[in-house]
């Protein structure tokens, strides 16, 4: 490891063929649809105290990336830039090798293979806070590891922190074929729950392969006719609070994980807040999940990966930085199975 407190020394990432000062990245100068993304060059980021520089092998995109690309709901611009994104490089999820460390970092070293959340991960290099990374399990490929951070931690917190799942419970995952849903099915199964996953009918085989005890197409799902569930994970916010309550046992829990409905100003956040405000007056618990990537949950995911109980589901389409806009279009169309990943480092080079 480099000596703590010394100036970080950039190290050329193996196989990139780039210089030490610039890098290729997905760039965005304004809010809008996927057409605002283009691939170009910009200076390599510089690490600050508590950060590391990662040579990115792979980066994932998800609905959160879409919200930051479009600037919707508009309330999000208060944090990410009123007229244009503060950070012109999108992306959070990443996997790769540490090539430089900043002052104050004493748990990671140059050469470590890691995954987690960075700042502008859709690039050849990205900085990340050291406490938002952990060691990559050897059993996971770079693409699998890149898929794990945001969606995996969100699913972990939904099942364990908010959902308080215990063995033997009946768990319903609404939106089981997407990024968060594919992790939630596996994490709840690993917790000993009996899992029912709901997706489009075309993806029920995929959901069953994740380990769900039952996979149902939402086109044919008559969930209200079934026994109520102990824990309902609502991913995407397609159902009303009243409907979710009917699907949940009298003393059960509903965890609301994002919402893609609602107005342009707040999106579906208002629905989630409304549900959470009603919770103290009900036997049922209604929890609005506001997830954050932390090293503790990343380490839990990695442990499940080492045990073979969790394998990140990566969509089979193969994308590189140059295909980022196409990848986003697939996400918007809902055509993905699992997490969409951009191959950036050695895996991308091997396909050229």
Q: What b/e sequence results for 223-253 when a residue is b if at least 16 CB atoms lie within 10 Å of its CB, and e otherwise? A: beeeebbbbbbbbbbebebeebbebbbeebb
Q: Is the pLDDT of residue 24 over 80?
A: yes
Q: Which domain holds residue 229?
A: 150-288
Q: Say whether both 337 and 267 belong to one domain.
A: no
The answer to whether residue 334 sits within a structural domain is yes
Please provide the distance, in angstroms rounded to a whole number, between the alpha carbons at the two ends of the chain: 33
The answer to whether residue 16 sits within a structural domain is no
* Rounded Cα gap, residues 320 and 175, in angstroms: 26
Q: Is the pLDDT of residue 14 over 90?
A: no
**Pick the residue with more confidence: 315 or 3?**
315
CATH of the domain at 283: 3.90.180.10
The answer to whether residue 10 sits within a structural domain is no
pLDDT, one tens digit per residue, over 173-214 is 999 999 999 999 999 999 999 999 999 999 999 999 999 999
**Pick the residue with more confidence: 86 or 93?**
93
Q: Say whether both 175 and 259 belong to one domain.
A: yes
Q: Say whether both 275 and 262 belong to one domain.
A: yes
Total domains present in the chain: 2
* Rounded Cα gap, residues 119 and 145, in angstroms: 16
pLDDT, one tens digit per residue, over 117-152 is 999 999 999 999 999 999 999 999 999 999 999 999
Residues of the chain with pLDDT > 70, as a percent, come to: 87
The answer to whether residue 306 sits within a structural domain is no
pLDDT, one tens digit per residue, over 30-44 is 999 999 999 999 999
The answer to whether residue 101 sits within a structural domain is yes
Query: If you average pLDDT over every residue of the chain, what do you get?
Result: 88
Q: Say whether both 102 and 204 belong to one domain.
A: no
pLDDT, one tens digit per residue, over 225-251 is 889 999 999 997 778 899 999 999 999
Q: Is the pLDDT of residue 15 over 60?
A: no
């Amino acid at each position: 490891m480099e000596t703590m407190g010394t100036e970080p020394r950039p190290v050329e990432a193996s196989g990139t063929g780039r210089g030490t000062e610039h890098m290729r990245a997905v760039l965005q100068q304004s809010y809008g649809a996927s057409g605002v993304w283009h691939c170009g060059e910009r200076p390599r980021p510089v690490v600050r105290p508590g950060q590391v520089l990662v040579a990115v092998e792979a980066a994932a995109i998800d609905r959160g990336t879409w919200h930051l690309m479009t600037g919707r709901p508009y309330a999000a611009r208060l944090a990410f830039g009123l007229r244009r994104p503060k950070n012109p490089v999108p992306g959070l999820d990443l996997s790769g090798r540490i090539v430089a460390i900043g002052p104050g970092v004493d748990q990671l070293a140059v050469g470590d293979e890691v995954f987690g959340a960075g700042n502008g991960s859709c690039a050849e290099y990205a900085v990340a806070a050291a406490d938002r990374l952990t060691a990559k399990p050897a059993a996971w490929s770079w693409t699998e590891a890149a898929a794990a951070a945001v969606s995996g931690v969100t699913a972990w917190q939904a099942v364990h922190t908010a959902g308080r799942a215990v063995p033997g419970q009946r768990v319903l995952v609404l939106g089981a074929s997407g990024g968060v849903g594919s992790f939630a099915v596996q994490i709840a199964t690993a917790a000993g729950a009996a899992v029912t996953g709901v997706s489009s009918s075309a993806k029920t085989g995929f959901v069953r392969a994740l380990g769900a005890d039952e996979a149902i197409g939402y086109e044919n799902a008559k969930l209200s006719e079934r026994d109520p569930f102990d824990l309902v994970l609502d991913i995407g916010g397609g159902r009303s609070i009243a409907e979710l309550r009917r699907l949940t046992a009298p003393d059960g829990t509903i965890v609301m994980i994002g919402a893609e409905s609602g107005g342009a100003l707040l999106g579906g956040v208002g629905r989630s807040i409304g549900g959470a405000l009603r919770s103290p007056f009900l036997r049922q618990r209604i929890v609005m999940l506001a997830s954050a990537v932390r090293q503790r949950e990343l380490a839990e995911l990695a442990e499940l990966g080492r045990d073979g109980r969790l394998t990140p589901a990566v969509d089979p389409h193969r994308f590189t930085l140059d295909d980022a806009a196409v990848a986003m279009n697939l996400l918007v169309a809902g055509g993905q199975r699992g997490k969409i990943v951009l191959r950036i480092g050695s895996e991308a080079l091997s396909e050229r």
